[in-house]
């Protein structure tokens, strides 16, 4: 099981927790941080995702620095609407 927890400061913590039987439970301590959202993935021994549970606010983070470096080497242009 792979648990991804995102906190209010957009820091993510990924926890890998082994599943050893069909039923069980686990508790994790996040008392020092405020949780914004989370995603839980159940992965089999072949690293294939079997099921996913997502908090209703879960979205993948978009890294703006990574996108702006890889999109184009062309200069950015302003609006296409011209003002007189």
* Tens-digit pLDDT profile for residues 22-42: 888 889 898 989 999 999 999
Q: In the predicted model, what is the mean pLDDT of residues 4-14?
A: 92
Residue 6 lies in a domain: yes
Residue 46 lies in a domain: yes
Residue 58 lies in a domain: yes
Nearest alpha carbon to residue 4 among 65, 63, 57, 48:
57
Residue 10 lies in a domain: yes
Residue 75 lies in a domain: no
CB 10 within 8 A of CB 61: yes
42: domain range? Answer: 2-21+30-70
Q: In the predicted model, what is the mean pLDDT of residues 3-28?
A: 90
CB 25 within 8 A of CB 62: no
pLDDT at 68: 58
How many separate domains does the chain show?
A: 1
């Amino acid at each position: 099981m792979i648990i991804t927890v995102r906190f209010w400061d957009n820091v993510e913590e990924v926890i890998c927790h082994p599943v050893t039987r069909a039923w069980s439970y686990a508790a994790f301590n996040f008392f020092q941080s405020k949780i914004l959202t989370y995603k839980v993935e159940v992965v089999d021994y072949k690293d294939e995702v079997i099921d996913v549970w997502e908090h209703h606010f879960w979205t993948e983070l978009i890294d703006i620095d990574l996108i702006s470096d890889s999109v184009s080497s062309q200069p950015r242009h302003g609006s296409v609407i011209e003002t007189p």
